[in-house]
Structure 1
Amino acid sequence: MSTPASAPADRSLLRLARKAGDFSRDGRGRIPSIPPILQYGFRPFFFLAALYAGVAIPTWLWLYFTGRALPGPFHGLHWHAHEMLFGYLGAVIAGFILTAIPNWTGRLPLSGRPLAMLVALWLAGRLACAFLSEPFAAAAIDLAFPAVLAFAVWREVAAGRNWKNAPVAVMITLFGLANAADHAANLDLLLHDLGHRLALAVTTVLIALIGGRIVPSFTRNWLVKEGRTELPAKFGLLDKAALAFTGIAAAAWIAIPDAPATGVLQLSAGILLALRLMRWRGLQTVSEPILTVLHLGYGWLAAAVLLLGLSMLLSSIPQSAALHALTAGAIGTMTLAVMTRASLGHTGREIVADRTITCIYVAVTAGAALRVAAPFADSWYGHVLACGGALWSSAFLLFAVRYAGILFGARVTS
């Protein structure tokens, strides 16, 4: 993406900060130094998101098998869905967008005390949704985080005059509104699953759009470096059609989720996403897991959209399988792919998957596959559910352990 013109001083400082990996302030009454964990949004939010996913799934399984509930405003399945969407995914989105914005706008990233305050708002929301039984108070606390995040994103887009990326800011705003809709549904003010559908629809579009940029781009760069001549197809009519159908299908799912026409749109979008992926030379990347996993994540997206369409048209396909192909599969795999890669690259390390990182990819893939298969397992449902949850959550706990030193430590300088 092109970077718009900005103040020369800001540009110079940004280049210097990127080179040194230290976004410290100057001596004019500003913070003289910032701990590494608070220098960039991806550092605290990727770590906390992974740790939360690794803990929240076992907690949900314990609640499910014991029949117990947390004292917060959401009970049972509703708490699980809300927290994986607006807790885990909300943190990943915050980490990604706060790290991407400086590259888009040429301005300094949110860091130091403001970033710490945003992290505190996210933590407060998680505690409120788990332990605060008063629904209005819990909603007010939980919604503070997406509101402040959306404000910060819009402020940076406007200040940097980077209107090209305003659609991403719109998506962040819609995601926050989905959180509000879910709280309203918990108070019987809106349809129960409206907030979930809106959040998942927004995420589907974001993965289709942003994943469609980074997967072929990173693949092309790697293949060129390897001396290969068969490269991913350039953006063309098929890509435009896939994105258009994905957006239309997502909007239809929000508005008329039970209409057969929505199912047809989802099927069409899934087929186009799969065809798009097939043109990106994914099979040539199998020797580089940190790149292959991006193709796998996009493949999960295509499969999830296809399954969602089939579940609307065929009673034999449970919608829970499609939803978990999207959440545990596409979202889980793609977010881990981005987190493992970005954390290495933005801290000056070589972007290569070691054995531990490869194990993370295997665990999240196996866990997602088992979770999608669980509705078809009949009397083995509980066993498959537990195994899938254990594998999936272990991938995120392994990320937290493997990347703790990277995210809390200083940038590596050559």
Structure 2
Amino acid sequence: MMGGTLDNRDRLELRRRRMEQAPPVLRGGFRPFFLGAGIWAAIAIAIWLWAFTVGVQQLGALDPLAWHRHEMLFGFVGAAIAGFALTAVPNWTGRLPIAGAPLAALALWWVAARILPFVAPELPLALLALIDGGFYLALAALILREIVLAKNRNLPVALAIALFGIADLLDFAGSAGLIGNDIGHRAGIALAVTLVSLIGGRIVPSFTRNWMQREGLIGGLPSQPTRFDIAVVLATVIALAAWMVAGAVPPVGVALVFAGSIQLVRLVRWRGWRTLASPIVLVLHLGYVWIPLGLLLLGATGLGAPIPSSAGVHALTVGALAGMILAVMTRATLGHTGRALHAGPATRASYVALHLAVLVRVAASLVPEHYQSLLHLAGGLWIAAFALFVLAYAPVMLRPRPSE
């Protein structure tokens, strides 16, 4: 230590000590945030179903629909993004993970943003917005620091998280009537789907190829991302940005259908049908397939088909976002705790429940005469999926690695 400041070696040593001294749940970002995401996913939908059934006028500081949309996106999805980023960045940079007290502070910040609207609804909406959106801006700054110090190339991930925080603020502004009510929500969906398209485009073919090679499946292995993949992501970004601003109107519908079509081609190139023997690999493809399906449904709405926009939105959110989140949370938790990458009975059941929930929720939008019954069925399947995840993985995240 020189001049009262810490050099890089001192900082690494401090983090190493934090890792050793911290309770197991604070030894990696995936532990508190994946656990929080799973618990909140089940609780938030249970609250939403109760509010919808009873017909309450207010949930905390927001109306029920605004609260539901906000918490599923900036609460549940946001926690999963935080857990993934805090876990992936050490792998990308070679630096030690954020652990111990700093990780606890981040997790408590996220928890506070979930609870404050209920325990202190009289607080100004602007303050609640700064607490919630500020979490993602602080997380982005932390991720950016790690990437810059390591001279790593994953700057777009830090930028996307920062923009996600801004979308969070815009969603609050919409609830306050300061801007259009859908802009922040659509921006959050667009950013999250872009992240899944970007990162999923790396991990899905990579994990698929690795598994196929271990199984001795030769020929037709998925390739590394190419210029075609870059074009697919760019087309998706443009289509979703247009939808964010203008909604599902005819010109945007064309862009969405085009993006969905080439996303489908991209997915077929990864040959997911060859992974039927490995649910933990197959589920990555099942989660990703909802990106092209969601884009195509939204595009069809924009082109005048009798399909409510909620069908496409829920295909993207319940299907693509939650589907990929559950797939990555189960795989990453097993891998980072030194366990075999094998989907046990509870994990497989959670996969089935979630994808049934997507099908039923999309059907609820398409069959309005059975909307309420299908909505409750979808909600029950969703709760079952994440309750199974928590029951199966909480013991893993609360205990040390077998080697520790």
Shorter-chain-normalised TM-score: which range? over 0.9
Deviation at 1:306, TM superposition (A): 1.0
Per-residue CA deviations over 1:150-198 (Å, capped at 9, x if unaligned) read 2211221222222x11111110000000000011111111110110111
Tell me what 1:123 maps to.
Answer: 111
* Structure 2 residue 277 is matched with structure 1 residue 287: yes
Of the structure 1 ranges 235-244 and 112-121, higher mean CA displacement relative to structure 2 is found in: 235-244
- Counterpart CA distance in 2 for 1:233 and 1:106 is 25
- Counterpart CA distance in 2 for 1:157 and 1:309 is 36
Residues 11/288 of structure 1: CA separation in 2 closer, same or farther (3 Å cut) = farther
Tell me what 1:324 maps to.
Answer: 314
Deviation at 1:62, TM superposition (A): 0.6
Deviation at 1:379, TM superposition (A): 2.3
How do 1:169-208 and structure 2 match up within 5 A?
A: 169-208=158-197
Tell me what 2:3 maps to.
Answer: none
How do 1:86-125 and structure 2 match up within 5 A?
A: 86-125=74-113
* Structure 2 residue 73 is matched with structure 1 residue 85: yes
Of the structure 1 ranges 367-376 and 306-315, higher mean CA displacement relative to structure 2 is found in: 306-315
How do 1:8-407 and structure 2 match up within 5 A?
A: 9=9, 24-25=16-17, 33-133=21-121, 134=123, 135-162=125-152, 164-230=153-219, 231-407=221-397
Per-residue CA deviations over 1:205-249 (Å, capped at 9, x if unaligned) read 111110010000000011011111131244334323211211111
Deviation at 1:24, TM superposition (A): 4.1
Maintained 8 Å contact 1:121/1:144: no
Maintained 8 Å contact 2:250/2:304: no
Aligned residues: CA RMSD: 2.0
* Structure 2 residue 382 is matched with structure 1 residue 413: no
Tell me what 2:4 maps to.
Answer: none
Per-residue CA deviations over 1:25-57 (Å, capped at 9, x if unaligned) read 1xxxx7861111001000000001100001110
- List gaps (5 residues or longer) in structure 1: 1-6, 15-22
Residues 175/43 of structure 1: CA separation in 2 closer, same or farther (3 Å cut) = same
Displaced runs of 4+ in structure 1, greater than 4 A?
7-14
Maintained 8 Å contact 2:206/2:224: no
Which AA in structure 1 matches 2:33?
A: F
Tell me what 1:20 maps to.
Answer: none
- Counterpart CA distance in 1 for 2:372 and 2:59 is 24
- Counterpart CA distance in 2 for 1:395 and 1:31 is 31
- Counterpart CA distance in 2 for 1:102 and 1:158 is 12
Question: TM-score under structure 1 normalisation?
Answer: 0.91
Per-residue CA deviations over 1:334-378 (Å, capped at 9, x if unaligned) read 000000000000000000111111001000000111001002223
Maintained 8 Å contact 2:12/2:95: no
- Counterpart CA distance in 1 for 2:164 and 2:274 is 35
Deviation at 1:304, TM superposition (A): 0.6
Residues 31/401 of structure 1: CA separation in 2 closer, same or farther (3 Å cut) = closer
Identity of aligned residues (%): 46
Which AA in structure 1 matches 2:401?
A: R
Maintained 8 Å contact 2:248/2:299: no
Which AA in structure 2 matches 1:187?
A: A
